[in-house]
């Protein structure tokens, strides 16, 4: 990934934030027929190993877990807030007419090695944690115990756990840091008015 210095994200905490707030990752791997990608919601744990781990589950019918042996290198891409930016939103454009359209975004490339966990205890614990995390804002959060045990058991038999031990985290936040402050802030204001609240907030204080 090309990263100009002013868009680089050296702070691990900022990379962790993007992963946690946008947990649907794109796992990229070398398959039998070339490059392939799967879109999977991940759980991130920063403590095991120097950079942490990503855990998830895939359908048993998904060839990913059979084609990628334990130890296989993979990359998981997490896309944060993103949106088109019009040069018309820059006050300086109307003075010099020397601006062009662009796209602002945040992204993390998480590199690591894959481990397959075809283990009922592993997937049960993972599903329970993911459920608690993503149901937390519901008025009546769904729990695994809401369904009959035999139904949950049958569902768990149809998934396989995976774990990515991270070896590198590379991040990019393209938030207008290379623009005049008035251009960046006005573009953020327009984005906020158009429903892109997260990106607007990040552009107001790119760090």
pLDDT by 10-residue block (mean), the chain, 207 residues: 96 95 96 90 91 97 92 97 97 84 98 96 96 95 93 96 97 96 97 97 92
pLDDT of residue 72: 94
pTM recorded for the entire structure:
0.93
pLDDT of residue 15: 96
pLDDT of residue 31: 79
pLDDT of residue 94: 80
Longest CA pairwise span in the chain (Å): 68
CATH T-level topology, domain 5-80+104-175: Pnp Oxidase; Chain A (2.30.110)
Q: For the chain, count helices (H), then strands (E).
A: 7, 7
Distances (CA, A) of 10 to 15, 53, 55, 75, 179: 8, 19, 23, 18, 20
Domain boundaries, the chain: 5-80+104-175
In this structure, the dihedral spanned by the alpha carbons of residues 9, 200, 177 and 181, taken in order and rounded to 10 degrees, is -150
């Amino acid at each position: 990934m090309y990263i100009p210095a002013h868009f680089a994200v050296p702070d691990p905490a900022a990379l962790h934030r993007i992963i946690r707030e946008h947990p649907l990752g794109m796992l990229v791997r070398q398959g039998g027929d070339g490059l392939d990608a799967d879109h999977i919601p991940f759980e991130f744990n920063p403590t095991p190993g120097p950079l942490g781990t990503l855990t998830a589950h895939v359908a048993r019918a998904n060839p990913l877990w059979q084609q990628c042996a334990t130890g296989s290198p993979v990359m998981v891409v997490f896309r944060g807030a993103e949106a088109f930016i019009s040069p018309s939103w820059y006050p300086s454009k109307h003075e010099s007419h020397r601006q062009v359209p662009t796209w602002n975004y945040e992204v993390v490339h998480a590199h690591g090695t894959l481990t397959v966990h075809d283990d009922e205890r592993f997937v049960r614990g993972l599903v329970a944690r993911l459920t608690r995390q993503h149901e937390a804002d519901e008025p009546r959060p769904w729990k695994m115990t809401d369904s009959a045990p035999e139904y949950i058991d049958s569902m768990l038999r149809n998934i396989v756990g995976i774990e990515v031990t991270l070896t590198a985290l590379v991040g990019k936040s393209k938030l207008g840091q290379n623009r005049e402050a008035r251009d960046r802030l006005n573009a953020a204001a327009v984005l906020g008015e158009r429903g892109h609240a997260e990106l607007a907030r990040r552009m107001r204080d790119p760090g």
